[in-house]
Structures are given as structure tokens and as C-alpha cells.
Amino acid sequence: KNEKPPFQIAYIEDYDPYKEQILITYYTGDDKDIESIRIDNEIIYADYEKIVKYDFLDRVFCYQKRLWVHIPKNAKDRLDFTIDKEQVRITFNGKKYQSLFIQDIRKEFQKRLPKSNIWLLMDRDYEADDNAEHLYRHIMQNHPEQEIVFALRKESSDWKRLEKEGFNLVEFGSYEFERIAKKASKVISSHSDDYLMKYITPRQQF
């Protein structure tokens, strides 16, 4: 107990695609260890922390620390992890790293997401009445078995018109929109603007 190993290994064990959080775990003999998490060289604090104690013969054998950490949407570079100012090796997907590219974490976990057959359609975020609206109407009328959602800002002048027509609407930029955008098998838009592209994952057809 309380003896420091020659080096530490942390594990990235899970990912919440809707909250953009990763689960980092490591084992230690000292539950008072101080971790430092850096993303793009900025210090990030864990959103949630849990310490699990493991006993052996009525004595504490070791602790497991479990840290849920939010990845900022604009993060592009690396994740670094230190314990008591010592660099920690990070194990992810069966490989060890001194530091890890955020992009690689996102890509790997996105591949593991269960694929949904929902299609997300939109024209512009503030305006409909373009190709995506017309395609949605065609699918709704001719292929009712296909699950479809149309994204639009609620303050758009088209919102009430489409709602009255029976469109399955989701407010662009909302939590529900992000959830659907991440799990949709197809994202179909008449405009590939930046404000939409940041939500699209590599596995989705566009």
C-alpha cells in the first residue's frame, strides 16, 4: 500500500458520444494522488470522479480511480495525463501512448456506436423550402417505413408550416439534434455549411 510503481498506466475505457465525455481509469496505492488532465495543453477537470477500494486479507490492496472527462468540441490536438507531476502512459484500444490525439479517440469510439437507420435531413438552419424539404416530403409520402427527422431552428418562419404538415422536426443545435446527428445513418442537406459539418461523423453518409 502507498508504494509508487515505477510508472503508471491509465486506461481510456468508455466514451459518452452525447455528452462528449471519456472515462479514464487507473490503479494506485494512494487515493490522494493528484491527477492533471490536459487537452490541447489546457488543464481540464473531471466532471465526475469515483474511487473504488479493493481489499485483500482485510487490508487495502489498491484503489481504482474512475474519471469522466469532458472533451471540448473545439479540441483538435492531444490528451496528456499526469499523476503527481509524473507523465502517465495511456492505454487505448490495446496500444500504449505517451499522449493521445483527440481525433483518434473520437474516431475509434464513433466506429463502436450502434448504427441507427434514422435519416436526418435539413436545408439551412434557419430556412427550409429547398431540396431537403422536398425530399423529406417525398419519403414521408412514399416510404413511410423509413424513419426521418427534419432539422430547423425553432424561430424559423418555416417551423409552424412544416409542423402543421406533419414533419418530424428537431430544433437545430439542441441536445436532441446533437444526439440524432451522431447516431443517424444518413445526413442529407442541400447545403454543406460549416455549422452543420461539425456535427457529422466520418461513418455517416452525407
- Give CA separation, 196 vs 49, 65, 124, in Å: 33, 37, 9
Q: How many CB atoms lie within 10 A of CB 49?
A: 12
Q: Please write the tens of the pLDDT for every residue from 118-131.
A: 999 998 888 888 89
Distance of alpha carbon 163 from alpha carbon 166, whole angstroms: 5
Q: Please write the tens of the pLDDT for every residue from 164-186.
A: 999 999 999 888 888 888 888 88
Q: Output the pLDDT for position 196.
A: 57
Q: Please write the tens of the pLDDT for every residue from 13-47.
A: 998 877 788 999 999 988 888 999 999 999 999 99
- Asked if 52 contacts 44 with a C-beta cutoff of 8 angstroms, the reply is no
Q: Is the pLDDT of residue 149 over 90?
A: yes
Among the listed ranges 32-36, 52-56, 194-198, which one has the minimum average pLDDT value?
194-198
Instruction: Give percent of the chain with pLDDT exceeding 70.
Output: 87
The mean of the pLDDT values for the chain is 85
39 Rama sector, left if φ>0, alpha if ψ -120 to 50, beta otherwise: beta
Distance of alpha carbon 206 from alpha carbon 186, whole angstroms: 6
Q: Output the pLDDT for position 115.
A: 65
B/e letters for 165-196, b = 16+ CB within 10 Å, e = fewer, are eebebbbbeeeebbebbbbbeebbbbeeeeeb
* Mean pLDDT within 71-76: 84
- Output the CA angle 33-38-44, nearest 5 degrees: 80
- CATH, domain range 9-107: 2.60.40
Instruction: Give percent of the chain with pLDDT exceeding 90.
Output: 47
All three cell numbers of 25: 481509469
- Asked if 146 contacts 119 with a C-beta cutoff of 8 angstroms, the reply is yes
| Helix/strand number for the chain, H first, E second | 5, 15
| Domain spans in the chain, listed from the N-terminal domain onward | 9-107, 119-197
Q: Output the pLDDT for position 200.
A: 62
